[in-house]
Structure 1
Amino acid sequence: MTKLDKRVQRTQYQLRSALLALIVEHGYEQLSVQDILDRAGVGRATFYAHYRSKEDLLVRSMDILRLHLVAETAAKKKSKRTPLGFTLAFFRHVDSHRQLWRAIVGRESGFIVDRQMRRLLLDLVRLDTSRSAALGRSNKIPELAAHFLVGALMSVMVWWLDYNIRLTPLEVDRVFREMSLPTLKALLP
């Protein structure tokens, strides 16, 4: 059973790696499932045994990033209360995958990836700010603030990448947090 699990993991890793490499080279929208299969060295039946479409592969690939960021948030919350505890891990991820992110963010060919990334970040912000909703605040305000913070986070990332700003992930995170403090104060007790 574990041998099958390792094979499945290896196949899924090959497909994710092929997808990401091809996004850097050609953009997401131009890719076909066949392009991914050719790069990964995987057959069509194998692909469809794991994924419904290239968008399903993309979404499930981003789930790995989501799990990593959720784990970072949980680790931060255990040590101390850090609003938006996932942002430093997010900036570190972006920094270590600059070529991929430059190929995606703010580009016409990255619309679907950008949309999925915003959904992922919105879920993380909602998780982090949901405590204020429990304190009796209007449901609309936390939702608006979550969208505001995700938009700001994505804009800071695009700025950082497009202008090749020489700041470390820690420095970018610090500046983002300072700029986001008024919104966070409105949400968090």
Structure 2
Amino acid sequence: MAQVRQTKTEQRIREALVSLLAERGFDSITVSDLTRRAGIHRGTFYAHYVDKYDLLERQINAVYRNLADILEGDAEKPGNSAGEMGAGSRDFIPYGRVLGALSYIRENYPLIAALTANGTDQRLYERAKQLLGGLVERGAALAGTKLDFGGVPETYGREMMLAGVTSVIWLWIKNGCPEEPRVIANIIWKNKSRSLEECVLS
């Protein structure tokens, strides 16, 4: 019973944070603002969080863990499952997992928009990029292959590869996630291997 009360209290605090972030910037929010909005005492807040920075960081961490669970899936199966777009054992950013992550983002858009300042805060962006990088590298290792960036130094090649995918997702968040997750997953899938020259019509 105590655990249920704790979960409900944390949910109220999270909802207060989300609503206040939607109204104003994080810097202008106080613990008093959060407790008033959540309808709790300051002592109750401090029983759960050290301060507002701890609250924000823990919400970001929770979203990151959920995305990691979705994207990493079965670590022994780097490719797509049958029936997904472009299924193949060498697809290290699997379509089905990307679609799952996009669906999670859209279902939790108010929280993610608040935590990312509508896609402008880079903390989750950088962590999502690292997550995708780990997924690709793990898939390559499991397949017994190495990443090849066509002569581009690995640091830069890796950044170009991962930033392209992550930037599409973040633009979608900035725009309010208007398209269905499958539309964005298809855009990522179709364009993740296209070069700049291929994007220019002759």
- TM-score (norm: length of structure 1): 0.69
Look up the equivalent residue of 2:123 and give its one-letter code.
Q
List gaps (5 residues or longer) in structure 1. 184-189
Look up the equivalent residue of 2:134 and give its one-letter code.
L
Percent sequence identity over matched residues?
Answer: 22
Aligned to 1:91: 102
Find out whether 1:176 has 2:188 as its counterpart: yes
Select 1:72's aligned residue among 70, 73, 81. 70
Aligned to 1:5: 3
* Higher share of residues assigned helix: 1
Look up the equivalent residue of 1:59 and give its one-letter code.
E
| DSSP 3-state at the match of 2:27 | coil
Look up the equivalent residue of 2:93 and give its one-letter code.
L
Task: Quote how far apart the aligned CAs of 1:40 are.
Answer: 0.9
Aligned to 1:51: 49
Q: 1:136 to 1:155 in 2, by over 3 A?
A: closer
For residues 50-91 of structure 1, what are the alpha-carbon distances to aligned partners after superposition, in whole Å with 9 as ceiling and x for unaligned? 222222212211233223222222446577614334432332
* Alpha-carbon distance between aligned partners in 2 of 1:161 and 1:144, rounded to the nearest angstrom: 25
Task: Quote how far apart the aligned CAs of 1:28 are.
Answer: 2.5
Q: 1:44 to 1:4 in 2, by over 3 A?
A: same
* Alpha-carbon distance between aligned partners in 1 of 2:158 and 2:58, rounded to the nearest angstrom: 23
Q: Is the 8 A contact 1:125 1:146 kept in 2?
A: no
* Structure 1 residue ranges (4+ consecutive) displaced by more than 6 angstroms after TM superposition: none
Residue range with higher mean Cα deviation, 127-136 or 19-28 = 127-136
| DSSP 3-state at the match of 1:7 | helix
* Alpha-carbon distance between aligned partners in 1 of 2:3 and 2:156, rounded to the nearest angstrom: 41
For residues 146-170 of structure 1, what are the alpha-carbon distances to aligned partners after superposition, in whole Å with 9 as ceiling and x for unaligned? 5445533443235435556853211
Find out whether 1:105 has 2:118 as its counterpart: yes
Look up the equivalent residue of 1:58 and give its one-letter code.
L
Task: Quote how far apart the aligned CAs of 1:175 are.
Answer: 0.8
List gaps (5 residues or longer) in structure 2. 81-91, 196-202
* Alpha-carbon distance between aligned partners in 2 of 1:55 and 1:163, rounded to the nearest angstrom: 26
Larger Rg: 2
Task: Quote how far apart the aligned CAs of 1:39 are.
Answer: 0.8
Please, what is the CA RMSD of the aligned residues?
3.4
Task: Quote how far apart the aligned CAs of 1:18 are.
Answer: 1.0
Give the aligned length: 173
Task: Quote how far apart the aligned CAs of 1:144 are.
Answer: 4.8
* Alpha-carbon distance between aligned partners in 2 of 1:146 and 1:49, rounded to the nearest angstrom: 42
Larger RCO (alpha carbons 8 Å, 6+ apart): 1
Select 1:116's aligned residue among 123, 142, 146. 123
Q: Is the 8 A contact 2:128 2:166 kept in 1?
A: no
Look up the equivalent residue of 1:40 and give its one-letter code.
A
Look up the equivalent residue of 1:105 and give its one-letter code.
N
